[in-house]
Amino acid sequence: MKICTKCVMPDTRPRLKFDENGVCAACEWDKIKKTEIDWDARHKELEELCDSIRGKQRYDCIVPASGGKDSTYVADKMKNEFGLNCLTVTITPPLETELIQQNMKNFLEYGFDNIKVTPNPVIAREINKFGFVEQGRPMLSWTSCLNSVMFRMAVDFKVPLVMFGEDGETEYGGSNETRYLPYYDTDYAIRIYTEGNDPRSFVKGHSDQEMSMWLFPSKEEIKAAGFKVGHWSYFEDWDPYVHYEFARDNYGMAKADGRNTGTYTDFGQLDTPLYELHTYMMYLKFGFGRGLQDACIDIRAGRLTREKAVEIVNKYDGEYPEKNIPVFCEYYQMTKEEFDAVLDKHANKDLFEKKDGIWRPKFVIS
């Protein structure tokens, strides 16, 4: 594995490119953000858009919201700084935690409309199981309906703007095509966020009507509705820790009781324990997990030296989510043997070897 010389991200991350000095695209982008991007101009661009849409429809803006730090921050900005009437939309995660429910409840108490969309849990479970077994993606249903539901809500409620949080491709290294584009379309959403997969191919026996939460509105519907879909991270330098402090201090957001499995942080991705499995599968497939992901963000923000990050990553990254294995087996309706066989299938044998029933890395991050 080649590791970025500035952060600790390996070149096994899908779509991540490195320059001739061994610096990854996310670090390259971080430098561009700090030196070249005219944030005032981008802020003005958003202000102008908001001025042109404000008050013309029932809702000015949809903010996908979970009760987490980032969506709390974005919803607050859209409402209190840009003066938009926001509809926050939540998609119920599988195995939703009480902590995120409480955080969402607190958040709404500050005055937001919210619609909670719960795609058919039976189909959702089937898709998640398919994703886990076939692709090593245990939350495939949740991740693949996130965009389709928001596009659908924008069409149905005639909302001119959807504002997501960060553009993961740009921020963490991936496709560079939206670095300088404030908005994206369905083609991009399908290609990047569902990797071109048609959700109807995930499960059999359900009509398009039953699958409607996972399907995008037609191009004609989207064109007629004429809304824009963008990421807040285009308009302001993205820093999740700043969002956490903001949500904690202004919305009473609570963090986890102790650090999250696989990392040293305690305030992110509190929606579902399946996130532990999601990042563990990422680790088995690509050699980087939740701790390494967090460390890269903290290195770029200047909160962590690369040296200290290396130490932390080798300590926590890829931690086996032992406590919740029975919860995962029950959710997927699998035996432990069947569950282990899925891990065996997806573990990258070039990077890992199995010892005492658990996949251990053959590499050290340095």
How many amino acids of this chain bind Zn ion (CB under 5 A)? 6
CA distance 366 to 311: 9
CA 37 to chain centre: 24
As measured in angstroms, the least distance from the Cβ of 21 to Zn ion is: 11
Amino acid at site 169: E
Nearest to Zn ion of 1, 256 (CB atom)? 1
Would you say 86 and 75 are in contact if contact means Cβ atoms under 8 Å apart? yes
Structure tokens at 202: 């995930």
- 4 is a site residue for Zn ion (CB under 5 A): yes
- 163 is a site residue for Zn ion (CB under 5 A): no
Q: Which of 24, 50, 78, 304 binds Zn ion (CB under 5 A)?
A: 24
Q: Which of 3, 16, 27, 46 binds Zn ion (CB under 5 A)?
A: 27
Site stretch for Zn ion (CB under 5 A), options 21-29, 65-73, 164-172, 323-331: 21-29
Site stretch for Zn ion (CB under 5 A), options 2-10, 46-54, 85-93, 201-209: 2-10
- 13 is a site residue for Zn ion (CB under 5 A): no
CA distance 232 to 114: 19
- 7 is a site residue for Zn ion (CB under 5 A): yes
CA distance 350 to 366: 18
Amino acid at site 309: A
Q: Identify the helix (H) or strand (E) that includes residue 10.
A: none
3-state secondary structure of 337: helix
Site stretch for Zn ion (CB under 5 A), options 26-34, 88-96, 202-210, 305-313: 26-34
- 89 is a site residue for Zn ion (CB under 5 A): no
Would you say 213 and 149 are in contact if contact means Cβ atoms under 8 Å apart? yes
As measured in angstroms, the least distance from the Cβ of 304 to Zn ion is: 13
Nearest to Zn ion of 7, 274 (CB atom)? 7
Q: Which residues of 195-303 form beta strands (DSSP E)? A: 228-231
Nearest to Zn ion of 7, 87 (CB atom)? 7
Q: Identify the helix (H) or strand (E) that includes residue 360.
A: strand 358-361
Q: Which of 3, 6, 75, 234 binds Zn ion (CB under 5 A)?
A: 6
- Which residues of this protein are in contact with Zn ion, per CB under 5 A? 4, 6-7, 9, 24, 27
